[in-house]
A and B are shown apart, each in its own frame.
Chain A
Amino acid sequence: MREDRAVSPARTSDLLDAIFRYAPIGLGFWDTDLRYRRINPALAAINGRAVEDHLGRTLPEVLGPLGEEVEEVVRGVLDTGRPLVDVDVFGQTEAQPGVDRQWRATYYPVGPDDARTGVAAAVIEVTEERTASRRERRALEQTQAATALLDAVIHAAPVAICLLDLDLRYQRVNAALVDLTGRGSADDVLGRRPSEIAGDMGEKVEALMRRTRDSGEPVYEVELAGELPNRPGETFYREGSWFPVRDGTGAVAGVAGVVRDTTERHQAEVERRRLLKAAVTERGHAEAAQVRAESARRAAEAAQTEAEEARARTEFLAEAGRRMASSMDFERTLQRVAEIVVPRVADWCTITLDRGRPQLEVVAIAHADPGLVELARDLSRRYPPLRDAEGGAGRVIRTGEMKILQEITDETLARLAQDPEHLEAIRALGLRSALVVPLTVSGRTIGALSLIHTREDRRFEDADIVLAQGLADLAAVHLRNAQLYTERSHIARTLQRGLLPRALPDIPGMELAARYLAAGDQNVVGGDFYDAFAADESSWAIMIGDVAGKGPEAATLTSLTRHTLRAAAMHDDRPMENLRTLNRALLAELDSTRFSTVVHGRVRPSEPAGAVVTLATGGHPPPLVLRADGTVETVPVRGALVGWMAEAAFGEADVELTPGDLLLLYTDGVTEVRGRGPEFGENHLAESLAAMAGRSAEEAVDGVLHRAVGVHGEHAPDDIALLALRALPA
């Protein structure tokens, strides 16, 4: 300090100049008007102007707004006389326009209080220092904030997060990860390896971490399953990603991991699959149950349809049977069978019979279109089916096997045709499908039932086949019965004709009439008979009778009775004697259970008119006489059954017939009325006969027969025979 005081003012000025010139800090001096009086290059450089641009100018004139702020500070120092040390000044100057800068300035007054000369300032730029400091502070703050954020994220994260060192020991974990390990706190986890704390699951996790550490490659979203030490027997699922943590040099410094507990998700997936499988299974079984229910319904419907069809078939066959049974005429039965079939079963039906000849005989034809029946009949006449034919009825009759053609092609027709003309004719019939069924009785095929469809939309179904077979069986039986019946009827008619006279004789002055009505089936020979014939040149024999029973045995007895009596009458004109002869003959030929009732008479015409009739009777109802005046008399003659016993007695009486009188011989079929006594029938006959007074013999027998049938109804219980002899009026 002493040495300073010893320096001369010149030296002081030089020193000040040197200091101003070379000082590395900015130096300046403002006068009391606050105008620059001195400034060194360093401060001028800070302001971005030359030294000369400052001198004499105020701070605002040099520095603008910044100058105004500084001027206030400088004025305060000037006014107060107190220095201001290390004042921070912020702003921009023309040295670096647009750049915020900072300076540290010290302002102090120059001169004593009473002789103040101005204010001096020392300024240093601290912009870079301050910026570096702020950066450092900001970096520190950022680091602290990032760390806080990381901690917050780690702890708040819903997933487990961990950081492990190169030895794969946990360095940082969150609560979620602690939970996944099954440990109580982070302290139980930090510093340990996964395998040390998480057992089976930890070993698997550690293996993946090791792979990450060693390869430097991350592992993403790997699912692991395993057990935990504190939960043995349970399987837990984890899904994790592990990645390397690198230091500033890029070297792997550790391993970090993000892990999720997927056990619930896995269990949910297992449950979802189980439910899906159950749903699929349930749906399948429900569909199957529906199929079975639908099938059962269809089966029930089919059964019902089948039952209805069976009932319809039964009804159809029953109706067919009734129609067939309504006639025992062979030809008519065949035609009825054919007509029953059309159009219900087929459009066309033919019945072909095998009569043992090479050519078969088409005996019945029915067609849905009646106009085609004659065409078909003509065709069958011209081209009768052949027994040896390759197909059709001939084949079925030969084999006895049904044949069905669901589609008749032109080739089929060509094979069946006998010549080109035949082919053209059957083509014109429009055959579409055919079913040929054998008519078989007792193992022998007697013919074939052919059913044909002519419409395109018709085909033979199983039910049709069943029906056709049933019909064929039924028809075959009826055919056989009809054949037998026809044969028997023929025999019966032949026999019956042999038991009755072919014609009645002419008796002078007399007229004869007879009627015979067989009861029951025409194939049974009746037991009644009558006869009238010329016994000699002047007399005629008449007889009527009834033998016990019906059928062949009765026919035999009738024949014996009639012809014995006829032979006797030819030799003896005494009726009663002839009955005795007949009695002996019958007793000689037959057993005692076979007998006859007979009225036998001898007619002797009288002159000029009328006749005397000698009547003998054996067990027969007494003859009646219808007189011309209308009265009816019973001829009083009785006798025993003929052929019953050897000592039989027969009555005999003469009856005189005058012109107009009528003698009626009859059998008991006229007077026996079912449910009534004999008197009713006899009285009814007498009344009927009385009503015929004045009528011819023909009219009389018709009238009596008509009224007798009227009493008996449709079916007389017994045969009826009437023989009337009338004396012609003069």
Chain B
Amino acid sequence: MLNPRAKRIAENEIRFREINERMARDVRDIVDPQERLDLVCECGFDTCRETVGMRLGDYDHERADGRHFFLVPGHEIEDLERIVERREGYAVVEKKGDAATVATEHDPRLG
């Protein structure tokens, strides 16, 4: 069972994923797969205003696992997630425990 803080962060990260999914969907027909998109950092910090530059083709690859989120390096929250990949300009984290379950349950690509 997630505590209120972990629950709020999990909900935020899911919302950021939804926003990035919508951005990727809306530009899919007008950008080249190699073109970089300025996506939202999917971290749990309320003060974050940074973006993650990523090619559309890479984005689809990173979205393959519903437990994974990408964020600006250093924005990971250690008690809730762990880094599984480091890429140029961003890191991929995997949610832990109940947060992973919640993230998978809300994975839009599983619907």
Q: Which residues of A contact B (CB under 8 A)?
A: 273, 276-277, 280-281, 283-285, 287-289, 291-293, 295-296, 298-299, 302, 462
Contacts and interface: CB of A to CB of B under 8 A. Distances in A.
A291 B44 CA distance: 11
A285 B50 CA distance: 9
Nearest to B49: A289
A284 B31 CA distance: 16
Contacts of A289: 49
Contact of B8 (A276, A277, A288, A298): A298
B38 to A, nearest CB: 5
B63 to A, nearest CB: 15
Nearest to A300: B46
Contacts of B48: 292
Contact of B47 (A281, A292, A462): A292
Contacts of A302: 4-5, 8
Contacts of B27: 276-277, 280-281
Nearest to B15: A291
Given A276-B30, A277-B27, A462-B3, A299 B38 contact: no
Given A277-B31, A280-B23, A291-B15, A296 B46 contact: yes
A291 B31 contact: no
A284 B46 contact: no
Contact of B51 (A285, A291, A462): A285
Nearest to B37: A281
Contacts of A287: 19
B16 interface: yes
A721 B38 CA distance: 91
A116 to B, nearest CB: 100
From A273, A277, A288, A299, residue with most partner B Cβ within 10 Å = A288
The dominant DSSP class at the A interface is helix
From B20, B26, B37, residue with most partner A Cβ within 10 Å = B26
A285 B40 contact: yes
Contacts of A284: 19-20, 22-23, 39-40
Interface in B25-55: 26-27, 30-31, 37-40, 45-49, 51
A291 B8 contact: no
B82 to A, nearest CB: 22
A475 to B, nearest CB: 26
A277 B30 contact: yes
A462 B16 CA distance: 28
A54 to B, nearest CB: 89
Nearest to B44: A295
Contact of A281 (B11, B16, B23): B23
Contact of B46 (A280, A281, A295, A462): A295
B12 interface: yes
A134 to B, nearest CB: 62
Contact of B31 (A273, A292, A293, A295): A273
Contacts of B4: 302
A291 B30 contact: no
Contact of A291 (B19, B22, B38, B47): B19
Nearest to A305: B4
Contacts of A283: 23
A291 to B, nearest CB: 5
Given A273-B30, A277-B30, A298-B8, A288 B16 contact: yes
Given A277-B30, A284-B19, A285-B38, 9 more contacts: A276-B30, A277-B31, A277-B37, A288-B16, A288-B40, A291-B19, A295-B11, A299-B5, A462-B3
A81 B19 CA distance: 110
B14 to A, nearest CB: 10
B8 A295 contact: yes
A273 B40 CA distance: 20
A713 B2 CA distance: 58
24 contacts: A273-B30, A273-B31, A276-B26, A276-B27, A277-B30, A280-B27, A281-B23, A281-B27, A284-B19, A284-B39, A285-B40, A285-B51, A288-B19, A291-B16, A291-B19, A292-B45, A292-B47, A293-B46, A295-B11, A295-B12, A296-B46, A296-B47, A299-B8, A299-B46
Contacts of A293: 46
B98 to A, nearest CB: 15
Nearest to A280: B26
Nearest to B46: A296
A207 to B, nearest CB: 26
A592 B39 CA distance: 89
Interface string B68-102: 00000000000000000000000000000000000
A27 B67 CA distance: 114
Contacts of B39: 284
Nearest to A281: B38
A296 B49 CA distance: 13
Contacts of A296: 46-47
B8 to A, nearest CB: 6
B46 A292 contact: yes
Nearest to B51: A285
Contacts of B51: 285
Contacts of A299: 5, 8, 46
A451 B16 CA distance: 41
A291 B23 contact: no
Contacts of A288: 15-16, 19, 40
Nearest to B4: A302
A195 B23 CA distance: 44
A29 to B, nearest CB: 94
B11 to A, nearest CB: 8
Nearest to B39: A284
Nearest to B13: A291
Contacts of B45: 292
Nearest to A284: B23
From A291, A293, A302, residue with most partner B Cβ within 10 Å = A291
